[in-house]
């Protein structure tokens, strides 16, 4: 099963942090309090969009063909993503 990484608290909707990391091989566990990396704060479909965009060498035309959407639709999706990332960056800094 492909589990979804929760990024928001289901109780109060605040941003979640990483408290524990575990090595699958030797079972070493590290405890602490770490912020999620910016890209992991995006929704799964937004992360997939970024991966596909990179695999298309940053070509919106190729992306549009892959997703079977028009060029301006894909450009609008990218612009929305850029706005969201900028907002997240501003929140961090």
Partner 1 sequence: MITKLFNPFKYIAGGYSLIIGVLVLLFTALIGFFSNTHFPDLISVKISPDLPLQYFIIQNLSNWIVVSSIFYLISIIASTSKVRVIDVFGTQALARFPYLIASFIGFSNSVDNFGKYILWELMQIGEPIELNVSVIVLAISLMIFTLLLTIWLVVLMFNAFKVSANLKGYKLILLFIAGFILSIFLTGLISNQLIQIF
Binding residues (CB under 8 A) for partner 1: these are 68-73, 75-76, 79
Contacts for 72 with CB less than 8 Å, ≥ 6 apart = none
Residue 19 vs 70, nearer CB to partner 1: 70
Residue 44 vs 73, nearer CB to partner 1: 73
Residue 66 vs 75, nearer CB to partner 1: 75
Question: Taking the complex as a whole, how short is the minimal distance between the CB of residue 87 and partner 1, in angstroms?
Answer: 14
């Amino acid at each position: 099963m492909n589990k979804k990484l929760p990024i928001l608290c289901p109780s109060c909707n605040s941003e979640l942090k990483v408290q524990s990391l575990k090595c699958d091989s030797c079972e070493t566990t590290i405890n602490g309090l770490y912020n999620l990396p910016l890209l992991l704060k995006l929704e799964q479909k937004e992360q997939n969009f970024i991966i596909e965009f990179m695999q298309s060498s940053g070509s919106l035309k190729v992306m549009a063909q892959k997703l079977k959407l028009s060029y301006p639709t894909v450009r609008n999706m990218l612009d929305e993503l850029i706005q969201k990332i900028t907002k997240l960056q501003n929140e961090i800094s």
